[in-house]
Amino acid sequence: CIAQREICYFIVYTSNWIHVEKIQYDNVFWENKMVKALQTFYWECLLPELIDPQFPKRMLKSDIREPIRIKNFIKSNEQKKKKI
């Protein structure tokens, strides 16, 4: 668990309203869903950009490196939108 807490509060505050949600730590969810996804994100997305940042050089969106699986996912979603 990142926060090392059994309970955390997710709070959204605006000048018009506030929403508070109590989040109970769930070890099964953390181990089965989050750990692998966060490790994959770190190794494929975050670490390459930390080691050799591309975006700050020209400040172009096209300089952001995306893993092939993310590119395929984006392409698939764009094709689905065109069909609608």
The CA angle 2-8-32, to the nearest 5 degrees, is 50
pLDDT digits (tens, 9 = 90+) for 7-23: 999 999 999 999 999 99
Residues 55-71: tens digit of each pLDDT: 777 888 777 788 888 88
Q: pTM value? A: 0.62
Gyration radius of the chain's alpha carbons: 18
Alpha-carbon gap, residue 10 to 29, rounded angstroms: 17
Cα-Cα-Cα-Cα torsion 31, 38, 43, 70, nearest 10 degrees, comes to: 120
Where are the domains positioned within the chain?
A: 7-83
